[in-house]
Structure 1
Amino acid sequence: MFKFDRKVKNRERKKKGPVWILIYLCLGGFIGTFIGGFIGGYSEKIQDMIVDLGDFIYLYAFEIYVSISLALLAITVVTSLIGRKKFLKSIAKDDEVYDEGLMSVGIGATSLTIIFNFLLLIPAIRTTMEGREGWKFITSLLLLLLIIVICALIQNKLIEDMKKGYPEKRGDVYDMSFKKDLIDSFDEREISHMHEAGYRAFEVASKLMIFLTIGLILLSVIIKINLGLIFSLLAIMATMNITYIYYCIKLENNRA
């Protein structure tokens, strides 16, 4: 056991050494050179593919919006119904740990459905207004309103069902302070899980923004894109990191 621990420590020490840093730099340079050469050799084909994709989205923006929105809504409804059924059955059986996993997914799916609905609405509205297709414009807005109402009703129902298993939980979905009231009713275990999940989300979002920024920079070499997108991602990334550092310092000072 001692020998195994020593091997692990030696391996970790080697990974942190300057040799590994040099290897990572060389590997990054090789990958960057390969990607740059690939883009340079096929820049015209890539540009044509991007233009064709943009034309396709512009031509069928309304249809894409309706199809994806209804598909997400259907997934949310089915997931919520199955999750609610499992949770209530778990309560009825008086399980030691309630089966709430799928129901939690359903609650999260309602928010994601609304978010994607708003994102997809923008190109749909733009194309219908430019094409002077009034019925598509009205249909898009009505679909948005319908999805928001359905998701709000589903979310409220699932929260009320959750309170049946956890009577100490507080909060009303239709109240502006719902999230605050719900978090205030969490116990230490739930707060710990929330903080851990929040940190994981921060890590994933940071890495995603880095890859998106690099992708947009490479894409700007091929076609003309709005550099404001890149600066917006950088601003969000900087805000996240500054906020994270600020609260780390503040929490440490409060502990002292």
Structure 2
Amino acid sequence: MTKRSKEKKKKSFVWIIIHMCFGAIIGGTLGPLIYGSYYDVISDGIIDIGKFIETYALEIYAITSVSIFVTSLVLTIIGRKKFMESVTREDEIYDEDIMSMAMGATGIAMMTSFIMFIPVIKVVFFNPHRWQSLTSFIIFLVVVLGCIVLQNKLVEDLKKAYPEKRGDVYDMSFKKDLIASFDEREKSIMHEASFKAYEITSKLIFGLTIGFLFLSVIIDINLGLVFTLLAVMATMNISYVYYCIKLEKAK
């Protein structure tokens, strides 16, 4: 480690301490004021939001799922068109930006539909209005199956341009087969993007944990969610450190 690196590390440590003290002062001063002045307002607001979600569970689920699915569909149509035009022109680097966005959007659409379908089951399926249960189930099937079909179209186009690419969307080992067919440049980009995603996700989980802990002081919420977030964050960090050590030894 160079002298400059040591000095930079010392300065970083000092700034961390300053930020921690500054945050403690602000939190210790404003926390009790906000808690005392707006306790009822915050508590009632959160309860009202919960009631609103329960009342309009189907509408929220339908609008959110269908909106993301339609966005995925539009991106897929535009992305495939631009990509195939680029392949036809034999560009040095194919135009696959929008197609990549479409692939990501289909994944988000399926994930959102799965996650939001669980609370909808609780609210809607035990509702005397059977049409709501049927509607939510139809939306779920359309979004999930539609996204799978869109992903397959995107992968098939990718194979036309890159014959060496392997993987079938309808196969459980699709992701593994596709990654195995990547070249070194693609793997390098994937690894760098994964690290960026890891950093962002770690910060998000940390922020959510602090937020839920703060809410637990104001209203009675299940702390199981907080401990779940902490478990996820711990798993991410432990896995990251473990594979850093393992890969370093392998090289």
TM-score, normalised to structure 2, is 0.93
Distance in 1, Cα, partners of 2:86 & 2:125 = 50
Residue 93 of structure 1 is matched in structure 2 by: 89
Distance 1:67 1:22 in 2: 46
Give the Cα–Cα distance (whole angstroms) in 1 for the partners of residues 7 and 117 of structure 2: 51
Q: Within 2, Cα distance between the matches of 1:171 and 1:14?
A: 49
How far off is 1:122 after superposition? 1.8
Displacement after TM superposition at 1:40 (Å)? 3.0
Is the counterpart of residue 82 in structure 1 residue 82 in structure 2? no
- Counterpart for residue 22 of structure 1: 17
- Pair 1:121–1:36, CA change in 2 (3 A): farther
- C-alpha distance in 1 between matches for 2:241 and 2:31: 34
Could you say what secondary structure the match of 1:216 adopts? helix
Of 105, 117, 123, the residue aligned with 1:121 is: 117
SS in 2 for 1:54: helix
Identify the residue that residue 138 of structure 2 maps to in structure 1. 142
Q: CA-atom RMSD, angstroms?
A: 1.8
Aligned to 1:3: none
**Number of residues paired by the alignment?**
248
- 5+ unaligned residues in a row in structure 1: which ranges? 1-5
Unaligned 5+ segments in structure 2 are none
* Secondary structure of 1:99 counterpart: coil
Separation (CA, whole Å) in 2 of partners of 1:46 and 1:236: 28
Distance between the aligned counterparts of 2:184 and 2:221, measured in 1?
A: 47
Distance 1:23 1:150 in 2: 52
Q: Deviations over 1:133-177 (max 9, x none)?
A: 222112211211111111111100010001121111111101111
Counterpart of 2:212 in structure 1 is: 216
After the TM superposition, which residues 236-251 of structure 1 pair with which residues of structure 2 at under 5 Å, given as runs? Answer: 236-251=232-247
Which residue does the alignment assign to 1:229?
225
TM-score, normalising length from structure 1?
0.91
Ranges of 4+ aligned residues in structure 1 off by more than 4 Å: 8-11
Q: How big is each residue's C-alpha offset from its partner over 1:210-249, in whole Å with a ceiling of 9 and x where there is no partner? A: 0000000000011000010011011111111111111111
Match of 1:162 in 2: 158
Question: C-alpha distance in 2, partners of 1:152/1:130?
Answer: 29
